[in-house]
Amino acid sequence: MTDISQEPVHSSNQTAPEKSRSYWSDVWRQFRSHKGAMMGAVVFFGILLLVIVGPLIYHVDPTYIDIRSRNQGPSLAHPFGTDQLGRDILARMMAGGQVSMAVGITAMLISLILGTAIGVLAGYFKRLDGWLMRLTDLFLALPLLPLLLVIILLFRDPLNRAFGPEGGIFILMVTAIGITSWMQAARIVRGDVLALKEREFVLAARSIGTTPLLMILRHVLPNVLSPIMVSATLGVANAIITESALSFLGLGFPPDFPTWGRLLFDGVDYLQQYPERVIFPGVAISLTVLSVNYMGDGLRDALDPRIRGR
């Protein structure tokens, strides 16, 4: 790693519009040339389109119970079959997908931003390191379930009043998941930053008087991108599953509100009789996570000046 190879990143952050556009078009070109990333993006946005536009075309109420047609296999009327109460599984998958994807992505972003910020600050500024890492230890040590119960107890009603029941619960869920899952990212980023800031190019940049903020943005962050991307991928899966666990415990969305995690959980008991009930949500979660993973891979490569240069 040398200063020269950092140059594109460096110049990119100048606010000159043309240069900026060229930087991002550069990144986009690189991203496009990454086959996996493009596949990932297609799948991801495909799923997104399906869960958002799908319900507009497929007009079936996901909570409507048609008790006479319960436990049916896939048919024309119900392409994915029906559940134990006769609710249409396709409609539930789409409705659940909206919630799961929204929760998964938002919670992942919160935990990632929090974790990266704390990790970079702790790694870069020695004075903050001790305190921030002890805070991380504290959060790692707190028992999750009682912590969530307390969060819900304290904030459910104020948030419900401020944002309405659904908005309130959504905010509560993503923050709760976010603030209980940033610690791993923080520790990993910090570890990398500790090593990074002793590298020659950082020392060189510092010697020419780069301010800490610029240093972090231009030299540190781009170089810790790959563990962050991995954390992002794992974070999505983690958030989707945690959401189902929370709802199951009654800490999340109302019980008749489908989400992928919940559909999967409810389906496990029926694994032998109706395996499709676990397969659909399981495949949906896995596909989403896989696509995020490949997009992350592509994004990392695209943002990596060494690879992009080639």
Partner 1 sequence: MKLKSALLGAACAMVLAPAAFAERGSDGEVRIIYWQAPSILNPYLSGGTKDIESASLVIEPLGRYDPTGALVPYLAAEIPTVENGGVSADLTSITWKLKEGLLWSDGTPVTSADVKFTADYCMHPEGGCAQGAKFDGVSSVDVIDDLTVKVTFDAPKPNPYGPFMGGQSPIIQAAQFAECLGARAPECTEANFNPIGTGPFSVTEFRPNDVITMEANPNYRDPAKPAFATLTFKGGGDAAAAGRSVLETGEFDYAWNLQLAPDVLAGMAAAGRGTAVSAFGSLVERIEMNLTDPSPSLPEGERSTVAHPHPFLSDINVRKALSMAIDRELLVEIGYGQAGRPTCNLVPAPALYASDNTECLTQDIEGAKAMLEAAGYVDSNGDGVREKDGVELRVLYQTSTNAVRQDFQALIKQWWEEIGVATELRNIDASVYFGGDPGSPDTFQKFYADVEMYANNFDGTDPQSYLAAYRCGNEPKPSSQWQGENINRFCDPEYDALLDELAQTGELSKRGEIARKLNDMLTKDSYTILPLVDRGRVSAHSNSLGGVQLNTWDSELWNAADWYRID
Partner 2 sequence: MLTFTLRRLVFAVPTLLFIALVIFLLLELAPGDPMAQVPLTVPPEVKEKMRLALGLGEPMHVRFVLWLKQFFIVEPIHLVDAIFGSSLGEGMQRVISWQTRSPVMDIVVQRMPQTLWVVGMSYVLGVLIALPIGIYSAYRQYSWFDQIGTFVSMVGFSVPTFFTGVLLIVIFSVNLGWFPSIYDTTHKVTDLESLLFQIKQMIMPVSVLALYNAAQISRFMRASMLDNLNQDYVRTARAKGLKEKTVVLVHVLRNSMIPVVTVIALGVPTVFGGAIITEQVFKVNGLGQLLITAIQANDLPMVQTLTFIFAVLIVVFNLIADVLYGLLDPRIRYD
Residues 6+ apart with CB under 8 A from 183: 115, 136, 139, 140
Q: Which residue's entry shows tokens 């610029």?
A: 214
69 counts as binding partner 1 under rule CB under 8 A: no
* Cβ atoms within 10 Å, residue 10: 17
147 counts as binding partner 1 under rule CB under 8 A: no
Residue 87, classed as helix, strand or coil, is coil
130 counts as binding partner 2 under rule CB under 8 A: yes
Residue 110, classed as helix, strand or coil, is helix
271 counts as binding partner 2 under rule CB under 8 A: yes
* C-beta of residue 91 within 8 angstroms of C-beta of residue 58: yes
State in angstroms the smallest separation of the CB of 151 from partner 1. Answer: 13
* C-beta of residue 94 within 8 angstroms of C-beta of residue 54: yes
309 counts as binding partner 1 under rule CB under 8 A: no
* Cβ atoms within 10 Å, residue 179: 16
Q: What's the rounded Cα separation, in Å, for the pair 297 and 5?
A: 20
Q: Which residue's entry shows tokens 């992928």?
A: 260
Q: Which is nearer to partner 1, 134 or 161 (CB)?
A: 161
Q: Which is nearer to partner 2, 60 or 253 (CB)?
A: 253
Q: Which is nearer to partner 1, 20 or 160 (CB)?
A: 160
The contact set with partner 1 (CB under 8 A) reads: 63-65, 67, 70-71, 84-85, 87, 149, 153, 157, 165, 248-251, 254-256, 266, 268-270, 272-273
The contact set with partner 2 (CB under 8 A) reads: 1-2, 36, 126, 130, 133-134, 136-138, 140-143, 145-147, 149-150, 153, 183-184, 187-188, 191-192, 194-195, 198-199, 223, 226-227, 229-230, 233-234, 237, 240-241, 261, 264-265, 268, 271-272, 278, 282, 285-286, 288-290, 293-294, 300, 304, 306-307
